[in-house]
Each structure stands twice: as C-alpha cells, then as structure tokens.
Chains A and B, each alone.
Chain A
C-alpha cells in the first residue's frame, strides 16, 4: 500500500534558523512528488514538483530535493511569513489515481 509520512509533525524555529522538513514515501512507480504550503483555512499553494532522484528545485528561501525514498524541503533563514503547514503529496500507480498527501508539518517561525 502506498504510504507517505512527514516529519517532524510540528517545528518551531527562530527567525533566521535554517532547518529541513522530511517527506518519506513508500509507493510503487513514483510519477511525481509535490510540495505545497497551506495557510489555515486556505487551499494548498503549489511550491515544487520533483520527478527523479537527484532532482532539486529552489524558490526564494526554499529548496526541495528528492531521493529514491524521501524528499527534503530545506528552509534557509526563515521569516515569520514562512509559518504554515507544508504538505507533500505523491502520485503513483499506472493511472491518475493515488495522489496521496502526507499528514503535513506545521512550521512556526518566531520573530
């Protein structure tokens, strides 16, 4: 069965304190791994798509990397406005089903 886990469940950082979020997956036939940011009561906002092990994507203070078993979202020098829940999702299987979200990491960045 396809599974996606994320760690830590919650993370508190001081402004400027860099860290990484983890997304581990067990799927057959990965067809894409997606990172989203979600603010309370709002829809997920797309951040990155990764397809192949070794792939990396960057956007402002965020960098996403992918291995065969997990993905990391690195946050460099975070600011309070980076506070949100970060969700990863994987697409697997032979057809467009199995778009599975992980439980998310709630990030709080304190000024």
Chain B
C-alpha cells in the first residue's frame, strides 16, 4: 500500500484565520514533505522532515508553520495567509532522505485545495 492521506480536501479561509492541514502515512516512511502547487505549474518543495526533524525549509514565509508530531503525521499550520497563497498543497512521503546514493521514491497524497479570501 502506497497511500498518503490528506485532510481536508478543500479549505476556504480568510486572511485573519488560523487553520491546519493534515497528512498521514502508514508505510513506515521516515521522510515527509510539503509542496505547494499553483495551477498549471509543477509542485514546489516547501519543507522536508527526516526522522521527525525539519531538515529543509525552502525559504517559506513564517505564516506557514510545519509540525511533525510523529513519524506518521505531518501538519501544516496556516496563519495570516495572503490570497496569493491559494494553491494545491501536497504532502508526500518516502522511505527516508539519504545522504548520498540513490534517492527513494516520493509518494504523494491527493492534496488540499486552499482558497484564501
């Protein structure tokens, strides 16, 4: 089973709201990722967690705050977002992030469609 689940599927929020996106995998993967995807563009990496520790933050604004409570769960906390943050937010997982050598395949969830008004 290569399933990554994400909730909610859709989210509409105002610029003053606080909300969270959730991601879960039960494949025993030790690396988890957040991506942002705008319409007709490829996914862009936001954050990487390896063994529940944040290993990569691709210069993402502080209004996005990731959290990895355990090896199966990944959250993305949203606060004071801007309309330009509206996008499809994708979660992915892989066996692990390797230091050198072959990279493991990333498996993606269905995404959360976020609209900021």
Chain A bound to chain B: yes
Q: Could you mark each residue 101-112 of chain B with 1 if its beta carbon is under 8 Å from any beta carbon of chain A, else 0?
A: 111111111110
- Given A44-B43, A102-B42, A103-B42: A96 touches B105 (CB 8 Å cut-off): no
The B64-117 residues at the A interface (CB cut-off 8 A) are 88, 90, 92, 97-111, 113
Distance in Å: Cβ of A100 to nearest Cβ of chain B: 8
Chain B residues lying within 8 Å of A97, measured Cβ to Cβ, are 45, 48, 56
Chain B residues lying within 8 Å of A96, measured Cβ to Cβ, are 31, 48, 50, 55-56, 97-99, 103
Provide the main secondary structure of the chain A interface: loop
Range for the number of chain B residues in contact with chain A: 20 to 34
Chain B residues lying within 8 Å of A32, measured Cβ to Cβ, are 102-105
Q: Could you mark each residue 41-53 of chain B with 1 if its beta carbon is under 8 Å from any beta carbon of chain A, else 0?
A: 1111100101000
A residues lining the B interface (CB < 8 Å): 31-32, 34, 36, 41-46, 49, 51, 87, 89, 91, 94-97, 99, 101-104
B41 closest partner in A (C-beta) = A103
Chain A residues lying within 8 Å of B106, measured Cβ to Cβ, are 34, 46, 99
Task: Pick from A46, A99, A103: contact of B45, CB below 8 A.
Answer: A99
| Bound complex: CA A95 to CA B31 (Å) | 13
